[in-house]
A and B are shown apart, each in its own frame.
Chain A
Amino acid sequence: MKPQKKNYLSTRAFRVVFLLELFSVLLLYVIWLLFSAMQLSVLLPVLFTCLFVLLQLYLYFGLIAPFYETERMLQLFSAEYTVEGVFDLRYPVSPEMDKAIARLGKFLNNSEFLSATKKQAQYLALQNQINPHFLYNTLEGIRGEALCAGLENVADMTEALSTFFRYTISNLEHLVTLEDELENIENYFFIQKYRFGDRLDLVVEMEEEDKPELLCCQLPKLTLQPIVENAIIHGIECKVGKGRVRIKVEGTEKRLLITVSDDGVGMDNTSLAALNKKLGGGSLDYMADSHQRKGGIALPNVNNRIKLLFGEEYGLCIYSAESIGTDAVLTLPRLRAGAKDGSRV
């Protein structure tokens, strides 16, 4: 079937404006001709010309420029650059159109979108947890048996695993302090060390004088762990020899910057560009079924949670080079302990 040709209102409106413009120019030209033929004073034609110029300026700044701004926002939305922009237009086309977009926004509203990403995070966390209490009790049981048998290593490992699951599975709604998040990372690392031994090393860096204040900053729970896990699994695990994960924390007046670097195998340019594209836009592709999905979901998931909670100007950015390593730079608003979910201080 032949696709139906769309009759855009904007095209029609511009056609009308163009015809009116043409008519005004012709009218002006006729006025000039008449007045010069009749050898009358040019005062009136000059006045008309000035009026015409003013009309053009009004038309440009009042209609054309706002129209293009709105058009650009819609283009950026279509090109997956932004989600926020389209719901926050400075010049909506009409009140009804504005209401329609707002209604559409409600369907896809941030909280629902957010809960979808949270569900993803929960899903990941719950994959190994059919019944959390059953799991905790079992782990405690193993730990007890290990201690009785004098297997301290097994007992320590079981305790670390139990602590890790408690932190991971508990309520995902709340923000946690950076201190809690780093403790969880250290715990996670402790477990991974049993697997990697001396091959794996973790360094956390922050300015000593800023440390107390930075550790109190809040961030969404389980923000760092997926990034560190990614660094280990995709960076260091595939590398021959020792690997190091470095977490660098910096704070400015309004922002918290966390850089997770690894000296693993890195990524090729194509994979990096694809990943950064995923992180850049408000795409939900990463939530597709696993067989339709290309690449992992951990980093896009963290990124989208941050963007939805705090705005598009925050989030994750990845730098990588093959056989050099990968840096994941996380930008967050600087929230102090006591701030509610999503509110900025």
Chain B
Amino acid sequence: MKQEILRMSHVTLIDDGMTKLDDFNLNVYAGEIMGLLCQNAHGRDTLLRVITQNAPIHYGYIYFRETLVNNYRHSAGGRNAVAIIEPRSHLVQDLTVADNIFVLRRGFKKYFINPHTLEMQLRQFTEELHLSFHASDPVSRLSRYESCVVELLRAVVTGVKLIVVRDISTAISAMELQKFHRLMRHYARTAGIAFLYICNHHEEAFTVCERISLMRSGHILRVLDRRDFSNELLWRYSLDFTRELPPPGDATDEAEVLRLSGVCFGALQGLSLSVRHGECLALLDMDNRIFDDLITVMNSEKSPAAGEILLDGTSLAAHKTCPPVSFITEYPAKTMLFHEMSYLDNLCFAAARKSPDLWRRHTLRENVAQEYRQFVGDFVYLENIDLLHTRDLIDLVYYSVHLYNPRIVFCVQPFSGADMYLRRHIIDLIHLLQKKGIAVVLLAVNLSDCLLVADRLLLVENGRLCREYSQKDFAELADLPPH
């Protein structure tokens, strides 16, 4: 007999006149890893608020461990024993691992804490699970994967019955994800903990979940059993991500834009690679360590300890005044725009490095506005970009790079946190950059979506190139760890 942990029955939640959850049904049983595959982000945050905090609902019933905790007549508003693990850490960075796991929890009432006892307690877990961190390590020194594991252990110690794991594949590498899945299975099996695994990619959910609920616009479309897990079935629910293969020809004919030869800096241990004109290259780091260092050297902030970086055949240092390299960071809508500036000013901001006249001459900016109006419509004249949706803000970031027209652009995890519709749109934006002849390098820790847009894939392990795949070899990648 199954033990029910969470049951949401016909839940409807209307917030500000918008239906966030629409006749939403979800059952999660003890010891089960239940997937929630979100086709768009609509209602996802609301769902978590309802599960964790019992936020008032418009209609429906919510049971936690077979007890009615929230319904449309009355919401007590108490918290359920649910933990959330997501890319954003919920740990106190300046405290130790042991403090985060054992001390910062409800019900801990000791006035005197014996670090040795905590260490002993933690050792039971770390030895069992072969974990490398120690009780006294400050959390700030842990990798993101280790932080996720600490959060998992904290949830286990606290006696949480349901753990929501949300979008972690965007924060940890493919190998780490595989290890984390093993830990989830371990606790599901041995401690009967239920997991709600929220992600955007069915390939990722297939590897770990026992059942998957498909969600779109706050409504469950279908609940799939393991036997229903097939790409063909999921494609019927998804947008068309198929790509046209280029006509056969030798891509190596294209001129080389960037060449790294034996570059050593921080985690980079003799990295060598080349990128060709207008090419889209995916760089998959299996250890999730090199990106900060790669960006530092490509940004000319520091010179590599060894090796050479050539841009269009000349040293990168020679381009210092106006380097033809751009970067699009992870979550660019939040990190790459100036919210006090207008749409047009944001659009011109990067390009103004090349031609400072953009700030002085109104006519130039008007020409830019006219040119980009065909892509973004009247938004180009918008004064307050806070009124825009995430998709439009991402448009603005990519179009500002398009206007700047660098030789090469590095995109850090471009698909992080993006729902299916946004991912499809980002792919179109990357193609737009390629069409202009801009080489695109995707810095990724998981393969999801990168293969849909990349012309080549480079696998990096221990800071150096370990394997290269051309587009026709992408089929071999099924042997790689789950992504």
Stretch at the interface among B3-11, B44-52, B290-298, B418-426: B3-11
B223 at the interface (CB under 8 A from A): yes
B359 at interface, CB cutoff 8 A: no
Q: Known contacts A213-B1, A327-B223: does B72 contact A82 (CB below 8 Å)?
A: yes
A99 → B minimal CB distance (Å): 21
Given contacts A76-B59, A85-B73, A324-B236, contact A255 B4 (CB under 8 A): yes
A82 nearest CB across to chain B (Å): 7
Write out the residue numbers on chain B whose beta carbons fall within 8 Å of the beta carbon of A321: 221-222, 236-237
User: In whole angstroms, what is the CA distance A72 to B75 when docked?
Assistant: 13
With an 8 A cutoff between CB atoms, is A252 at the interface? yes
Q: How far is the CA of A76 from the CA of B56 in the complex (A)?
A: 14
Q: B72 contacts which of A76, A280, A329 (Cβ < 8 Å)?
A: A76
Query: Which of under 10, 10 to 19, 20 to 34, or 35 or more describes the interface residues of B?
Result: 20 to 34
Given contacts A319-B220, A319-B222, A321-B222, contact A252 B72 (CB under 8 A): no
Q: Does A230 belong to the interface (CB within 8 Å)?
A: no
Known contacts A250-B2, A252-B2, A319-B222; A82 and B236 CB within 8 A of each other: no
Q: Is the CB of A313 within 8 A of B220?
A: no
**B9 contacts A331, CB within 8 Å?**
yes
Chain B contacts for A88, CB-based, 8 A: 73
B23, A276: Cβ atoms closer than 8 Å: yes
How far, in angstroms, from A331 to B9 measured CA to CA in the complex? 10
Which residues of B from 194 to 250 have beta carbons under 8 Å from A?
Answer: 220-223, 225, 233, 236-237
Q: Given A82-B59, A319-B220, are A252 and B236 also a contact pair (CB < 8 Å)?
A: no
Task: Choose one: B2, B7, B29, B222; the contact of A327 (CB below 8 Å).
Answer: B222
Residues in A neighbouring B383, C-beta threshold 8 A: none
A317, B10: Cβ atoms under 8 Å? yes
A12 within 8 A of B: no
Q: Write the nearest CB–CB distance from B229 to chain A, whole angstroms.
A: 14
Nearest B residue to A319 via CB reads B222
User: Across the interface, which residues of A come within 8 angstroms of B27, CB to CB?
Assistant: 257
Q: CB distance B4 to A252 under 8 Å?
A: yes
Do B2 and A251 touch (CB < 8 A)?
Answer: yes
Residue contact A323 to B223, C-beta cutoff 8 Å: no
- A-chain residues with CB within 8 Å of residue B223 when the two chains form the complex: 319, 327, 329
Distance to closest chain B CB from A276 (angstroms): 6
Minimal beta-carbon separation of A9 from chain B (angstroms): 23
With a CB–CB cut-off of 8 A, which chain A residues contact B72? 72, 76, 81-82, 85
Query: How far apart are the CA atoms of A85 and B74 in the complex, in Å?
Result: 11
Interface residues of B in 1-54 (CB under 8 A from A): 1-4, 7, 9-10, 12, 23, 25, 27, 29
| Bound-complex Cα distance A168 to B358 (A) | 82
The answer to whether the Cβ of A106 comes within 8 Å of any Cβ in the partner chain is: no
**Chain B window 338-381, contacts with chain A (Cβ cutoff 8 Å), 1 for yes, 0 for no:** 00000000000000000000000000000000000000000000
Return the CB mask of A195-234 against B: 1 if under 8 Å, else 0. 0000000000000001001000000000000000000000
Chain A: minimal CB distance from B114 (Å) = 40
A12 to B455 alpha-carbon distance, docked (Å): 71
Question: What separation, in Å, do the CA atoms of A236 and B189 have in the docked complex?
Answer: 38
Q: Does residue B66 face the partner (Cβ distance < 8 Å to A)? A: yes
Q: Which residues of B contact A85 (CB under 8 A)?
A: 72-73
Interface members, chain A 4-20 (any B CB < 8 Å): none
Q: Which residues of B contact A255 (CB under 8 A)?
A: 4, 7
Interface residue? A160 (CB, 8 A): no
* Interface residues in A123-182 (C-beta closer than 8 Å to B): none
Is B61 positioned at the interface, with any CB of A under 8 Å from its CB? yes
Question: A323: nearest residue on chain B (CB-CB)?
Answer: B236
Answer whether residue A332 sits at the interface, using C-beta atoms and an 8 A cutoff: no
10 A-B pairs with the lowest CB-CB distances in the bound complex, closest first:
A252-B4, A313-B61, A319-B222, A81-B59, A252-B2, A254-B66, A251-B1, A210-B1, A317-B25, A313-B9
A-B contact pairs, 16 of them (CB 8 A): A72-B72, A73-B73, A76-B58, A76-B59, A81-B58, A248-B225, A253-B3, A276-B23, A280-B23, A319-B221, A319-B223, A321-B221, A321-B237, A323-B236, A324-B222, A331-B9
Q: Which residues of A contact B (CB under 8 A)?
A: 69, 72-73, 76, 81-82, 85, 88, 90, 210, 213, 248, 250-255, 257, 276, 280, 312-313, 317, 319-321, 323-324, 327, 329, 331
